[in-house]
Structure 1
C-alpha cells in the first residue's frame, strides 16, 4: 500500500505519519517512509538525520535514481529526459522494498532490515531566489511510479502541507491520502479544499479524514459538523507526544486503535485506474510549453494503451 499524510501546517501530519510508521513496524510490515515535506520533519521523528547530501533531490542522487529506473527503456530517451510524470515502460527497472534493492541500499537509511527512510530534501542556500520545491518532488514522483511493492508492504509519505500535491501527479500516486484535521476553522478549510480538488481530480474516494488534537466532545462535534462526516479516526490532544518531540525522541501511542482504523480502510487502487490517471497527467504535462522547450516531445515516452 502507498499512503500519504497531509493537512494544514501544524496539524500534526508529520507526527501522525511517524506514529503510523511505528504501528506498521510493530505489525511486522516492511515499510519505506518518505519525508517529502519541505520542512523535513518525518525523518528526524524517526531518528534519521536528514543530510543534504542524502536527499533524493541532490543532483547526484536524482541522476543515479533515474539512471537505475531507466534500465533499458528506449522510450524515455535517456535519464536526462525524465519529467515528473515519465512512466515505466519496457526495460524499466522497478523498485521494491527488498532490503537488497539498489535504490534502498544506495539512497535510504535502514532503521532495521524491514524499515527504510528517505527524504526528498529542502531549499539550500544556493537555491534562494532560483529554485522551486515542486522540482525537487519530481524524482519522488518517478520513484513512486516505478514502485512494485508486495502484499503487506507499505510506503508512508509525509507530504507538503496544504494542497500542493495537486500541482503535480502526487495526488494520483497513492492508495490513500490521509488529511489530518484539527478542530479549527483554518484546518477545516484546508481539508475542505483538499476534498474539492480531489473530487475534481477523481481521487476523492481515496481521502481518509483523521481528526487530531481533539480535546473534548465539543471538538469532535465541530469536526463532524464542519466536515459533514465522521472522521475515520480521532486522536486526542496528548502532552506526551509534544514532550517526545521536545526531547527529540520518536513519538509513541499507548492506544494504537486510531492507527489500526486508518490501516483497515486502505484498499489498493486498481492498476488500470492508476495507469490511466498517470497517463492522462503525463499527456497534460507533455503539452506544457516549458516541457516542450526543455525536453522536446515526451508523449513518445508512453507505450501502447494497455488492453
Structure 2
C-alpha cells in the first residue's frame, strides 16, 4: 500500500505520518517512510538525522539511484535521459522493501530490519535563486514508479504542504492521499482545493480528509459543515503528544489517548489498493503530457519512446 499525508502547513501532517508509521511498525508491517517535504520534518520525527549528503535529491545520489533503476532498460538512453515520469521497462532495476535492497542499503536509514526511512532533502545554499523544489522531487517520482511491493508492504510519504503534488506525478503514485485538516478556515480551504484538483486529475476517489487538533464537538461539526462530509477519522487535541514533543521525544502511538483513528486509516487504505493498470494509465498520460513540453523535447529529445507499446 502507498499512502501520502498532506495538508496545510502546520496542520500536523508530518506528526500524523510519523504516528502512522509507528502504528504500522507496532503491528509488524514492512514500511518505507519517505520525507518529501521541503521542511524535512518526518525524518527527525522518526529519529533520523536528515543529513544533506544523504538526501535522495543530492546530485550524487540521484545518479546512483537512476543508474540502479536504469538497469539494462533499452528504452532509456542513459541516466541523463530520465525525466520525472520515466517508467520502468524491460531490464529496469526495481526497488523492494527487502533489507538487502541496494537502494535501501545505500540511501535509507534502517530503524529496524523492516522499517527504512528516506528523505528527499531541502534547499541548499547552491539552490538559492537557481532551483525549484519540484526538481528535487523528480528522483522520488522515479523511485515510486520503480517500486515492487509485496503484500502488506507499506510506503508512507509525508508530502509537501498544500497542493504542490499536482505540479508533478505524485498525485498518481499513491493508493490513498490523506489530507490532514484542522478546524480553521485556512486549513479547510486547502483541503477543499486539494479535493477539487484531485477530481480534475482523475484521482478524486483517492483523497480522504482526517481531522486533527479537534478540541470538541463544535470543532468536529465545523469540519463536517465546511467539508460537506464526515472526516475519515478525527484526532482530538492530545496533551500527552504535546508533552512528548516538548520534551524532544519522537511521537509514538502510545502518546495518544486513543489509537483507533490510526487503525481506521490503516483499515481504509488496506481495502483500497489502486489497480496496477489504472496507475500505469495515469502515469502514461502524465508522461505524454510532459513529453509534449518544449523544454523537455529540447533537453531530452523524444521521451515518448520510453513508454511500452500500447496493447493491440
- Same fold at TM > 0.5: yes
SS of equivalent to 2:212:
strand
1:260 aligns with 2:263: yes
- The 2-side partners of 1:243 and 1:173 are apart by 35
2:204 equivalent in structure 1: 204
Measure how far apart 1:293 and its partner are: 1.2
Q: State yes or no: 1:301 paired with 2:301.
A: no
Describe the superposition over 1:38-75 as per-residue Cα deviations: whole angstroms up to 9, x where unpaired.
00000000000000000000000000000000000010
- The 3-state SS of whatever aligns with 2:262 is helix
| Shift, 1:245, TM fit | 2.2
Task: Kindly state the Cα deviation for residue 265 of structure 1 after the two structures are TM-superposed.
Answer: 1.0
1:280 is matched with which residue? 285
> Do the aligned partners of 1:208 and 1:262 also contact (CA within 8 Å) in 2?
no
Equivalent runs, 1:144-155 vs 2, <5 Å? 144-155=144-155
SS at match of 1:131: coil
Aligned residue number for residue 223 of structure 1: 223
Equivalent residues in 2 for 1:130-279, closer than 5 Å:
130-252=130-252, 253-266=256-269, 267-279=272-284
Matches within 5 A, 1:18-97: 18-97=18-97
Q: Alignment length, in residue pairs? A: 307
Between the aligned partners of 1:306 and 1:131, the Cα distance in structure 2 is: 39
For the Cα contact (< 8 Å) 2:238–2:257, is it kept in 1? no
Instruction: Provide the rounded CA distance (Å) in 2 between the counterparts of 1:306 and 1:83.
Output: 23
State whether residues 175 and 269 of structure 1, in contact with CA within 8 Å, keep that contact through their aligned partners in structure 2: yes
Q: What RMSD in Å do the two structures reach over aligned CA positions?
A: 0.8
**Structure 2: distance between partners of 1:159 and 1:101:** 24
Deviates further, 199-208 or 247-256: 247-256
Q: 1:136-186 deviations in whole A, cap 9, x for unaligned?
A: 000000000000111111000000000000000000000000000000000
Q: CA deviation at 1:243?
A: 2.4
**Cα offset for 1:305?**
2.1
CA distance in 1 between partners of 2:37 and 2:52 (Å): 14
TM-score w.r.t. the length of structure 1 is 0.99
Whether the aligned pair in 2 keeps the contact of 1:33 and 1:118 (CA below 8 Å) is yes
Deviation at 1:283, TM superposition (A): 0.3
Q: CA deviation at 1:238?
A: 1.2
8 A Cα contact 1:45 1:248, kept in partner: no
Counterpart Cα distance in 2 of 1:241 and 1:289:
49
C-alpha separation in 1, matches of 2:81 and 2:95: 19
**How far apart are the structure 1 equivalents of 2:46 and 2:121?**
16
Residue segments in structure 1 that go unaligned for 5+ positions in a row = none
Q: CA deviation at 1:244?
A: 2.1
Contact 1:3 1:155 in 2 (8 A): yes
Deviates more, 1:232-241 or 1:174-183: 232-241
